[in-house]
Chain A
Amino acid sequence: MIDRLFFSSLSRRRLLTATSALAFAALVTTMQPSPAFSADTPVEGGDITFLIDSLGDTWIPNNSAISSFQGHIWGHVTDKLLYVDADGKVSPWIAERWEQNDTATEFTLHLKSGVTFSDGTPVDASAVVANLDIWYAGRKKEGINPIGLFPKTYDHAEAVDATTVKVIFKKPTLGLIPTLGYHGSILISPKTLAQPATDQADLSKTSGSGPYVVESWKEGDFVKLVKRKDYNWGPAAVGQTGPAHLDSITYKLVSEPSLRVASVQSEQADVAYNASPQELVTLQDDGFTVATPRYLGFVNGLAINTKLAPYDDVKVRQALQSGINRQEIIDTVYTPDWKLATSFIQSNVPGATDHSDLLAYNPEKSEKLLDEDGWVKGADGIRTKDGKALTLTLHSNPYLATSKSVDELIAQQLGKIGWKVNIQAYDVVTFGEKVKYGGPAIPAYEVTRSFIDAGTVAGILTNANNGENWFALDERDAKLNELRDKIAGAASIDARAPLLDELQKYILEQGYFIPRTQIVQRIYVQSPKLKNVTYNGIGYASYYTAWKSE
């Protein structure tokens, strides 16, 4: 009978796969990390597994999700020209020194010598020029995008000699220097950059100059990095320039947050990324290291659409500002590791000033403002004016896992004052399509955005110079226009600081931006054995300096 034949052959094949799977399992269990010594001195060797919720879409360096998941891998495989630490301080890395002309249109970078990409190509001036060019322009026909945040004022760059690069801009570009330490500005071998898009998409064909190289990878599954033994050009700011301590880092995709955390708890892995905040307290009690680095950027909050009624009314915006209990958000959704917002930019950004008094929870004030403004509470507790209900639609930001929970809590808080809050949660795709700053049905846009230089804020305030026009003000607010132009044209950081302070106060007073909390977009739960992990200005954990103690 045919069917019996079918069965027996099936079971034989099945048996074969079963035994090979068994052999694989045995192999894995014998590959235990090597033993280590005392706690404070670095231990050489060891392997770690980092559980991550996504490995992004494509590995074409320019197109990859450098700002979210893939940045972890790029941070170990590649170097940058400059280093930016968690406080926004810029220091040398591949570029040892740099100069600029008086108008900030010409920059000269002096490179370290002896640096090589893992394919053997030197990291010299011509390699840097090739990178600058592709960051600025991409190769759009082939599907290689430009780096979105690279200054659009770029004109060209030239190699003066093997270790000197001159970068020329069409207009003053103070932002270049911090941008070179930003996550998008990763140095890739010119040989890789010359490859067509389909080859660039194969991570194993990409060479950087970082302390680790890609050993193997599988799409949607894992990336395994191994130490590069001849590496000796690390950023001095992290206190180490030689090769890394850990032999290998495996980034493994595990999409469930609870599984990632439980695996670290049961010592099956060393790091769990993006754990649910609820679990952090118990994890800390159990001795796990919880890291919640804050990136440099805007706080998590709402950019209000001032064109859309009733948010064209400053009193309604101010009622909103004082109607949100930010402490309750931290108590309920987050843990004490989260910080209250003190402005609309994170408090660790150089230039951020403390305006907590403007962000205090004061429901009485909100009720009073709304009463004065003619919003009357109905029987259902919802306020109306001229027959229109006081509504607010929140579009939960899909890039922040806790966004929905915060929205639900804000809905409860505002509900007490008389708001009717609707929550709309879209996936990443639909969100990108439908939710835009100042959109006709978008009263508030939830911001999650990092930047490396506070000067960036000048570009979001209005629609001048291709600005993002976050509050749909266009050029209607003269005071804002004035501050914008002064900040963009500031010749030095010191001259800019008081302007930034004034801007922060004004935006919060006007209720243009409603902060929720300071943002922690990257949460790490680590095995207590893992020591000396460093975090950079964008909240990325670097295991270059780390080791594993016993």
Chain B
Amino acid sequence: MNSAYRAYAAKRLFQAVVVILLAYVLTFVVVSILPGDPITNVLRNPQSGFSEEEIAEIIAAQGLDRPVLVQLWSSLSAFLTGDLGISMRSHRPVATLIGEVLPSTLILAASGLLVALVLAVVIAYGTRFLPKRYGQGLLRGFPSLFLSVPNFVIGLVLIHIFGFQLGIFRVIEPDSFWATFFAAIALGIPISAQIAEVLIANLDHEADQEYAAVARSRGLSKARLFARHLLKPSSLPVVTVIALTIGELLGGSLITETVFGRTGIGSLVQRSVSTQDLPVLQAVVSLAAVVFVVVNLIADLVYPLLDPRVKLLGTPQRRPVTADDNSSGIPTAVTS
């Protein structure tokens, strides 16, 4: 490990911390623009019968009428010491709330990613094996199709067919195996499209390389050529794409969880947004930023060690065919 690498690693680490803190502040600023607050919202329910004077009195008693900057400072300093605060909506510690729902979202995101990977590899594999004229063109159209279907529609159709018509899973037990399976499909399909596109592009690229031609001329079977010589080098950029889709997995789970009725980060966000529960929103956004930044940090730090073709020239130059110049940025799905 040379000193250039260490300096590079330190710089990336510093940037990562800055990004997370900025995400925290940004959320605070955006959510603070909102009129009202969760406490007032509950009190304003016509059934509660509170007068405006009573509401103002309760708000003042809880320090919600303090200047915004004072509130930001007190929440930021608590955040820096690892205290995520108390939910304004449920009055329970934010860490407890997130801890309760996180496993469900992680299971869904991991299953969704798995579905996406399997689909992407099958599609990419298919483009190399089906006859060029018919099947291949069709398969190459799949990513495009997958990116055009809103994932709530996929979810609704899956629930309608497999949940009700065929009765494969009980809709009211969204954490059961089959319910998770179908939720993962709804989540994974749009994401598979992005991975498949990069994989196909890289397969095409690698297949044109000299060594593939040499291997082919040596009589290597198509399947072995694909597995050994094409898939492996093509999977490096795929790792990058996966790192970049982490955010989309989280974002996509927002809708998928709603459609399937799962209790996860997504439903927590929805509840928190509708009641302007600032501490929870800040924690979730920061958490998402932390996950995204850490995954990409690992990718950035591991990449120079993995791929001898990548040279450190001050800024990292990973990705043989990068997300930036492939298809001008990753096609973004509705899930993002």
Contacts and interface: CB of A to CB of B under 8 A. Distances in A.
A and B directly contacting (CB within 8 A): yes
Interface of A: 1-3, 10-11, 13-14, 17-18, 21-22, 24-25, 28, 49, 51, 57-60, 63, 65, 67-68, 138, 140-141, 143, 145-146, 148-149, 197-198, 200-202, 218-221, 252-256, 259, 262-263, 266, 268-269, 399, 427-430, 432-433, 447-450, 466
B114 interface: yes
A10 B110 contact: yes
A57 B275 contact: yes
B295 to A, nearest CB: 11
9 contacts: A21-B175, A198-B91, A198-B92, A219-B101, A220-B263, A429-B34, A429-B36, A432-B45, A448-B46
Contact residues on B (Cβ < 8 Å of other chain), bracket: 35 or more
A3 B41 contact: no
Contact of B261 (A24, A148, A259): A259
Interface string B235-277: 1100100000000000000000011010100011001001110
A78 B216 CA distance: 77
A480 B61 CA distance: 37
Interface string B279-320: 000000000000000000000001000100000000000000
Interface string B139-151: 0000000000000
B51 interface: yes
A433 B91 contact: no
B59 to A, nearest CB: 9
B335 interface: no
Interface stretch (B129-137, B164-172, B196-204, B324-332): B164-172
Given A10-B114, A221-B263, A255-B261, A68 B47 contact: yes
Listed residue (B41, B93, B258, B302) with the most chain A CB atoms within 10 angstroms of its CB: B41
B16 interface: no
Interface stretch (B1-9, B72-80, B176-184): B176-184
B49 interface: yes
Give the top 3 A-B pairs by smallest Cβ distance, nearest first. Answer: A432-B44, A67-B47, A148-B49
Nearest to B172: A263
Interface in B88-123: 89-93, 97, 100-101, 107, 110-111, 114
A427 B172 contact: no
A262 B171 contact: yes
B110 A14 contact: yes
Listed residue (B62, B176, B236) with the most chain A CB atoms within 10 angstroms of its CB: B176
B97 A219 contact: yes
A428 B263 contact: no
A454 to B, nearest CB: 16
B171 A254 contact: yes
B170 A263 contact: yes
A17 B336 CA distance: 25
Nearest to B232: A1
A14 B36 CA distance: 42
B48 interface: yes
Nearest to A397: B46
B239 A399 contact: no
B211 interface: no
Given A57-B90, A219-B90, A17 B114 contact: no
A262 B164 contact: yes
Given A65-B42, A220-B101, 16 more contacts: A10-B114, A14-B110, A14-B114, A24-B175, A25-B176, A25-B178, A28-B173, A51-B172, A220-B271, A221-B263, A256-B259, A259-B172, A268-B173, A429-B41, A432-B44, A449-B47
